[in-house]
Amino acid sequence: MRGHLHVNNSASIGIGSLIIFIAMILVAGVTASVLTQVMSSLEQQAMKTGQETIADVSSGLKVTHISGYKFGTKISQLAIFVSTIAGSSSIDLSQSHISLSDTNKQVILDYTSTCYSGSVSSGLFSTINSSNLSSSTYGIVVIRDIDSSCQSTTPTINSDDLVVLMVNTTSCFSGIDTRTEILGGVIPEQGIKGTISFTTPSSYVNTIIDL
């Protein structure tokens, strides 16, 4: 009788299974590496977003008082008293701007270091030369700055500081007449803005007008 050739396929099947197993391990490893990178990126982005959100909520400015100076029949200057809100981080006023509108015209004002005073002298509205302020700039007069953080080139305010932002409304609106609604805000680089909202009285009796 002739011998029969016996073919054993078990070894081939075992090698095939091993190759598939190794491939699955490699795929799982690559997938785990990608997932780790994605999770790390998401974690960093979430932390950054969280920090920015906290800064937006916990930092900001508040307008404590507004006074006007009458020249002729209109208000020619505004003095906007501002400080930081409770718990706020330091705010750089050189990166902050003022938005003002008299319902007919809106202006955006940026700080100019050419109109700065570290203290009040000769009266609030005479301390700096307001004629140097244009329809796009405002100046700063420091009222209280315990740590001397608010300087002309780096006007940074923090807790307990009080400064006045000076605006030439003659340049902005040709002066502010009686019964005029003024809206706007002092908007920091990050955080809550200080709201400006008032209506001028029906007549200007005094030179200095509380608004």
Asked whether the predicted pLDDT for residue 39 surpasses 50, the reply is: yes
Question: What pLDDT does 165 receive?
Answer: 98
Alpha carbon distances (Å) from 186 to 12, 13, 92, 118, 140:
78, 76, 12, 20, 13
Structure confidence by residue, pLDDT tens digits, 107-136: 999 999 999 999 998 899 999 999 999 999
Which stretches of 43-180 are assigned E, i.e. beta strand?
61-71, 74-84, 91-92, 97-101, 106-117, 137-144, 156-157, 162-168
Distance CA(10)–CA(19), nearest Å, equals 14
SS3 label, residue 102: coil
Asked whether the predicted pLDDT for residue 40 surpasses 90, the reply is: no
Asked whether the predicted pLDDT for residue 143 surpasses 80, the reply is: yes
Q: Which amino acid is present at 172?
A: C
Structure confidence by residue, pLDDT tens digits, 11-31: 556 666 777 777 788 777 777
146 phi, psi to nearest 5 deg:
-65, -40
Asked whether the predicted pLDDT for residue 1 surpasses 50, the reply is: no
Question: What pLDDT does 31 receive?
Answer: 76
SS3 label, residue 30: helix
Query: Among residues 146, 7, 22, 173, which one has the least CA distance to residue 90?
Result: 146
The gap from C-alpha 80 to its chain's centroid, in whole angstroms, comes to: 18
Average pLDDT over all residues of the chain? 87
Distance CA(101)–CA(30), nearest Å, equals 58
Query: Among residues 102, 100, 163, which one has the least CA distance to residue 137?
Result: 100
Structure confidence by residue, pLDDT tens digits, 58-76: 689 999 999 999 999 999 9
Question: What pLDDT does 30 receive?
Answer: 74
Q: Are strands 61-71 and 74-84 parallel, antiparallel or unpaired?
A: antiparallel
